[in-house]
Structure formats: C-alpha cells, structure tokens
Amino acid sequence: MELAKMSLTDLRRLQSKVENEIRRRNDVARRDLLKRMEKMAKDEGLSLSDVLSSAPAAAEKRETRRKPKANTKKATGSVAKYRHPENPAIGWSGRGRKPQWVIDWLAQNKPIEELRVPEAA
C-alpha cells in the first residue's frame, strides 16, 4: 500500500479504520490486564478494589516528591549586566537567549557595551 498514491478520501477511510483498530486493541488489552490484576489480587487474598483503593494515596505521594524545587536562579536573582536603553527596570544578565531589545540594539549596529551596567563592568 503506497500512501502517496492514495486519494484524500481513501486516506481518511484508512485513518478511520486505523483509529478504530487502535481503540479495539486498547480495549482488549485493558480487559486482559484487568483480568490478570484480579487474579493476582485474588492469589494474595485481596480484591482488586482493595488494591486500587490504596493506589491514589501512593500516586499522590509520588507526585509530591516529583515536584520540581524552586528555581534557585530566580530565588537568588541574577545580576543584570545590561539594561534596556529606555527602561532601566528591564535588565539582562548576559546569559541565555538575548532579549529582543538587545537583538534590536545590535541590529542597529550599536555596541552592546553601551548597554552594560557600570557596576558589572
């Protein structure tokens, strides 16, 4: 089957068939897994609902542990080496991606040193 030679209508039909087959296989896999899990729980003398009722608490604990720590760069603050020529409240540390105002400044063939903060020099 060569997709490049198929009409758009035929491709959409094929897409629909593929999506339906994926859904069907997911359903079959889900049912099979559920049966295996029920058997495993029964072998341990438990019901599957007993096992699953404790699962959300464990998942919440994992999510809590996985939350990223506060960004230490922002917490400590970066020292601005360059200041916006018209708005001194806007600065750039000279690290990472250049802000648009620096790009615009350089596009005018102006030296970046004119934007440098005197204390950072």
CA dist., res. 100 & res. 108, Å (int): 13
Q: What class, spelled out in words, does domain 73-120 have in CATH?
A: few secondary structures
Question: 3-class DSSP state for residue 96?
Answer: coil
Per mean pLDDT, which range of 2-6, 68-72, 105-109, 112-116 is the poorest? Answer: 68-72
Domain boundaries, the chain: 8-66, 73-120
Phi and psi, residue 82, nearest 5°? -130, 145
CA dist., res. 28 & res. 25, Å (int): 5
CB 93 within 8 A of CB 78: yes
pLDDT of residue 97 exceeding 50, the answer is: yes
Phi and psi, residue 12, nearest 5°? -65, -40
pLDDT tens by residue, 54-91? 776 655 666 666 666 655 444 446 788 999 999 888 99
